[in-house]
Amino acid sequence: MKNIENNNHTFNLIRDAIPIKWNIKLIQSNGKKSRKQETRNEEQQKRKNNIIQTPLEIKPETRKMKVIKRIKENNIANVFIAENSDRKQFEFVESIQPPLTIKQKWVLILSTLYGCPVGCIFCDAGGNYHGKLSFDEIMFQIEYLINQRFPDKYVDSDKFKIQFARMGEPSFNNNVLDVLEAIPNTFSLKSFVPSLSTIAPIGTDNFFNKLLEIKENLYQNDFQLQFSLHSTDEAQRDELVPVKKWSFEKISEYGKRFYSSKGKKITLNFAMGKTNILNVTDLKKYFDPMIFLIKLTPVNPTFKAKENKIESLIRPDVKTYSLIDELNEEGFEVILSIGELEENKIGSNCGQYINALNQKNETIDQSYSYGIVDL
């Protein structure tokens, strides 16, 4: 595996992405909250006290966002590219997952940052970081897709999931927390599973403490939390995900606090390259199989994976792995998550980023081959 050195530029971006005191963008430079944020906080507090039950008002005229492009429409997954008034772009995805219908399962995958300062060496969305999406910009992604599929505003799906997992590490953006608090009072949902995937960067303790509070107050047994580990070897983990991160011990302690016996197990995700290290004995030193499950996924075909010569261990034509047997023997539940191969061609899978096509003068076999339509 190609050795990637961490540089000061990368860590300066991370430093800038994690403010000393988590403040959302609407807090003005004089240290006082804007009236807009005060109003939102007052309304949220009233809801908690059951004083009002009306949806939180999100005024579309305050947003200057529009969807400018999309992948050619299909019945598997659709990628949309939006742009704000500063001409900064972000992507979001709906996954339809046939043969299930949207009424059976519908998944939205949202961006939380413009670019990403982390720079995982197999992810095309890394790099070119230039800020956080606002509360309105994250909500725009949800509203746009709901309006397309459910114009009456009622999401009639047996399993409706929103994943904060497209572009950007969500714990770098406190607006994600505001969105999680707003969703139940803004949308009419038959069911809802919020899902957050994180590398657990150092300096994000306040975010995760607040996330736990929101989960206990609003979502209890429905929240799906995933830690992306990718290796049990600390040196290799640092190479794959080149920023300072929580230790396994700290992830384990937080997971124990987050877990509830009637809720979902905490997911430990490994995008398994052929040289990735997953030592089951080391894993069990920190993670209780009663609380944590293991998800094994392919390294999807991205420009970064190709550049760094990372080949996937997990393949669609292989159904059994000795690694899964080892994990099962130690009591771990294992999810082998391969998904639709067509999504690689669409560019909707984890680690893929449609705008990467604008930065490359090459193609990847079986990836990014769907046409882009201007809107």
Give 266-291 pLDDT, tens digit per residue: 999 999 999 999 999 999 999 999 99
Please say if the pLDDT value at position 68 is more than 70.
yes
* pLDDT value of position 358: 80
Distance linking the first and last C-alpha atoms of the chain: 40
pLDDT of residue 129: 94
pLDDT digit string, tens, across residues 313-333: 999 999 899 999 999 999 999
Position 325 in a domain: yes
Task: For 237-261, write each residue's pLDDT tens digit.
Answer: 999 999 999 999 999 999 999 999 9
Assigned token pair, 349: 């899978």
- Please tell me the distance from the alpha carbon of residue 300 to that of residue 294, in angstroms, as a whole number: 18
Distance CA 325, CA 327 (A): 5
At residue 183, what is the residue type? I
The answer to whether 78 touches 93, Cβ cutoff 8 Å, is: yes
pLDDT over 90 (residue 82):
yes
- The pLDDT assigned to 128 comes to 86
Q: How far is residue 89's CA from residue 340's CA, in Å, rounded to a whole number?
A: 26
Asked if residue 36 is part of any domain, the answer here is no
In a domain, residue 129? The reply is yes
- pLDDT of 301 higher than 80: yes
Query: pLDDT at residue 233 above 90?
Result: yes
Q: How confident is the model at residue 63 (pLDDT cuts 50, 70, 90)?
A: low
Mean pLDDT of the chain: 86
Residue 199 has pLDDT above 60, yes or no: yes
**Predicted local confidence at residue 308, as pLDDT:** 97
Q: Looking at residue 92, which CATH number applies to its domain?
A: 3.20.20.70
pLDDT value at 190 more than 50: yes
Contact 356, 303 (CB under 8 A): yes
Residue 27 lies in a domain: no
Residue 20 counted as domain residue: no
Residue 24 domain-assigned (yes or no): no
98 pLDDT band (50/70/90 cuts)? confident
pTM as predicted: 0.83
Provide the number of structural domains found in the chain.
Answer: 1
The residue that leads in pLDDT, 169 or 60, is 169
Q: Residue 356 is part of which domain span? A: 57-374
Indicate if the pLDDT at residue 36 is higher than 60.
no
**CA torsion, points 350, 352, 354, 359, in degrees to nearest 10?**
150
State both tokens at 49: 């006290």
Percent of the chain at pLDDT > 70 equals: 83
φ/ψ of residue 46, rounded to 5: -65, -40
Is 14 among the domain residues?
no
Q: How does DSSP assign 24-63, residue by residue?
A: -TTB-TTSPBPHHHHHHHHHHHHHHTTS--SPPP--GGG-
Q: Burial level of 248, CB count in 10 A (0-12/13-18/19+)?
A: buried
Q: How many CB atoms lie within 10 A of CB 354?
A: 23
Q: Is residue 9 part of a domain?
A: no
- At which residue do the structure tokens 């659709």 appear? 78
What is the number of other CB atoms lying within 10 angstroms of the CB of residue 336? 16
